[in-house]
Amino acid sequence: MTKIMLLGSGELGKEVVIALKRLGHTVIACDAYEGAPAMQVADGFEVFSMLDGDALDAAVAKHAPDIIVPEVESIRTDRFYVYEEQGIQVTPSAKAANFTMNRKLIRDLAAKDLGLRTAPYGYATTYEEFQAAVEKVGMPCVVKPLMSSSGKGQSVVKTPADMRAAFDYALEGSRGDLKEMIVEGFIDFHTEITLLTVTQKTGETLFCAPIGHRQERGDYQESWQPCAIDPGQLAECQDMAAKVTSALGGAGIWGIEFFLAEGAVYFSELSPRPHDTGMVTLAGTQNFNEFELHARALLGLPIPEIEQRYPGVSAVILASQEGVPHFSGLEEACAYPQSDVKIFGKPTTRPYRRMGVALAYDRSGEETMDAMRKRAAEIASKVKVH
């Protein structure tokens, strides 16, 4: 029996634990607060700041895991190299975790080392550097902290009047002690997709059907699979994904985001773990959902194929205020055919915090994607978070 330490215990981590437990393994879930979703289904848990290197070392020494699975950005990832030297497997790899937890490292790898097409960009730690970066890439532009999650600290600069607020918001939204931001030129794209990519210890790299998604406040609101895409652009996305995952190394699932524009594909971002937009796979759109794929890959179990079964949509259920959550409307939401609702089990709420997801799917293939998206949003609207 393998012992796995999960670093980050949100809703994505919870599904990873479920997948690992179904394969018969022991999981210790870690996060900065007690009662996190993954802790509710794990064999044990630890509560500490994973940015505290000493606390992280102590937890690893206490539990002696065979595999470490990072599920969030705010981790002292430099320690992963030491753990690998000690014989502990880091998923997908220490290099992958370090590079992808920092937008600067992954963007420079993609654009400079691998030559992938990206938006023009610059970095800033001071307001003067920020002004220079905005001048370099032009307006409108997107501003993001180098280390953040769920859209925190992200904004769009459309005019000079937006600049100061965007700079301050990026600093405020930065996770950990890294106070630096990336300024990206705006891409005139018609679709944003996630390409879930699976690398295996032994076996070929596999790709899920592309997932389209819509964001608000830098955070995903709905996703749908499969997303319509030109075959040539899909092949280009797969080629970019294979190059960047090969450069980072390791086995696991990767959520790789691309912008699709007229006649061009742009690499955007990469996460070395299940992706929030991939929650649409919980609707059974594939023979394995993204969490089951991640579990198999990190355990070294073979994945013969990824089969796209039928289309599906996910729509988030959001909180509107701070407090302890209570839900209503589940009976009404669950009455819809070919649908499902997942409540994450987060112990507290705050405005716009994801508390669950509504899923809609169509086994017949007769329902249009627009109709399915409307149905998923309607189901999500029935669930009220009090």
Output the tens digit of pLDDT for each of the chain's 386 residues. 899 999 999 999 999 999 999 999 999 999 999 999 999 999 999 999 999 999 999 999 999 999 999 998 889 999 999 999 999 999 999 999 988 877 788 899 999 999 999 999 999 999 999 999 999 999 999 999 987 666 678 899 999 999 999 999 999 888 766 688 999 998 889 999 999 999 999 989 999 999 999 988 778 899 999 999 999 999 999 999 999 999 999 999 999 999 999 989 999 989 999 999 999 999 999 999 999 999 999 999 999 999 999 999 999 999 999 999 999 999 999 999 999 999 999 999 999 999 999 999 999 989 999 999 999 999 999 999 99
The residue from 79, 353, 354, 373 that is catalytic is 354
Is 378 tagged catalytic?
A: no
Is 269 tagged catalytic?
A: yes
Give all domains of the chain, ordered by start, each with its CATH number. 3-90 (3.40.50.20), 120-185 (3.30.1490.20), 191-385 (3.30.470.20)
Is 177 tagged catalytic?
A: no
Is 257 tagged catalytic?
A: yes
Going by C-alpha positions, the residue among 194, 216, 348 that lies closest to residue 273 is 194
The residue from 148, 149, 223, 245 that is catalytic is 149
Is 149 tagged catalytic?
A: yes
**Which structure tokens are listed for 326?**
């209570």
Pairing of β 312-318 and β 26-31: unpaired
Is 217 tagged catalytic?
A: no
Question: DSSP H helical segments within the chain, as ranges?
Answer: 11-22, 53-63, 79-85, 94-100, 103-108, 127-137, 163-172, 231-248, 290-299, 330-333, 369-382
The residue from 44, 151, 218, 329 that is catalytic is 151
Going by C-alpha positions, the residue among 279, 286, 247 that lies closest to residue 95 is 247
pTM of the model: 0.93
The residue from 73, 276, 292, 340 that is catalytic is 276
Is 151 tagged catalytic?
A: yes
The residue from 184, 257, 340, 362 that is catalytic is 257
The residue from 269, 300, 309, 378 that is catalytic is 269
